[in-house]
């Protein structure tokens, strides 16, 4: 059995880099979805409050 070539290691390194980028992108997309959901929930909660309460909440945020 022959030893792996330099090109083999380059390909493996590139595959590992792509896998890391994809994992990071998926994690970022998931975090963005959760944040959007949270913002939507906050907007619904704030919409049900009085104008004064909404102003106070906006001032704190």
CA–CA dist 35, 4 (Å, integer)? 45
29-50 residue pLDDT tens: 999 999 988 888 888 777 777 7
Contact 48, 59 (CB under 8 A): no
The reported pTM is 0.55
SS3 24: helix
Contact between 42 and 54 (Cβ < 8 Å): no
Q: Residue 13 pLDDT > 60, yes or no? A: yes
Predicted pLDDT at 27: 92
Domains of the chain by residue range: 6-60
């Amino acid at each position: 059995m022959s030893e792996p070539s330099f090109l083999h290691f380059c390909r493996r390194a590139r595959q590992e880099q792509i896998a890391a980028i994809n994992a990071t992108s998926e994690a970022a997309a998931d975090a963005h979805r959760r944040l959007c959901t949270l913002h939507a929930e906050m907007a619904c909660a704030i919409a049900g409050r009085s104008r004064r309460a909404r102003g106070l909440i906006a001032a704190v945020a």
